[in-house]
Amino acid sequence: MPVTSPPVRLIPAATPGQSFARTREQRHDAPADLIDLGAQAAALIAAQFPYERDTAGRAVMAAAQIIAGFARGFAPQLDEETADILDEVTCFLSLAAEQVVREAGAR
């Protein structure tokens, strides 16, 4: 059965800069398992893009924003478990992206 798309625009609620700032501010409130997944993902991103870490981190943040926009747009059609999974994916990708960009700036 094809997915019927609701009339939604996948525009992030925040700019990438705002998303990085919000993630930095809320990192300490994230569940430990998501922080760990974010760190693992950050290590993978950094290893795959050693010379373009900042750009790679920003691309991952954009992907997290797209997933969040998708989840908002399809919220009425999503069951609670799927919505929770999308929230967790968005969270750990945001954590990973923020860590990669932060560490890229520290080099």
Identify which of 107, 97, 103 has the alpha carbon closest to the alpha carbon of residue 17.
97
Domain that holds residue 70: 16-106
Q: Rounded distance, CA 68 to CA 75, Å?
A: 10
Q: Is residue 3 part of a domain?
A: no
Q: Is residue 31 part of a domain?
A: yes
Q: How many domains does the chain have?
A: 1
Q: Is residue 34 part of a domain?
A: yes
Work out the percent of the chain whose per-residue pLDDT is above 70. Answer: 85
Mean pLDDT along residues 73-92:
91
Which pLDDT band, with edges at 50, 70 and 90, does 30 fall under? confident
Q: Is residue 40 part of a domain?
A: yes
Per-residue model confidence as pLDDT tens digits over 83-98:
999 999 999 899 999 9
Which pLDDT band, with edges at 50, 70 and 90, does 27 fall under? confident
In the predicted model, is pLDDT for residue 28 greater than 50?
Answer: yes
Q: Is residue 102 part of a domain?
A: yes
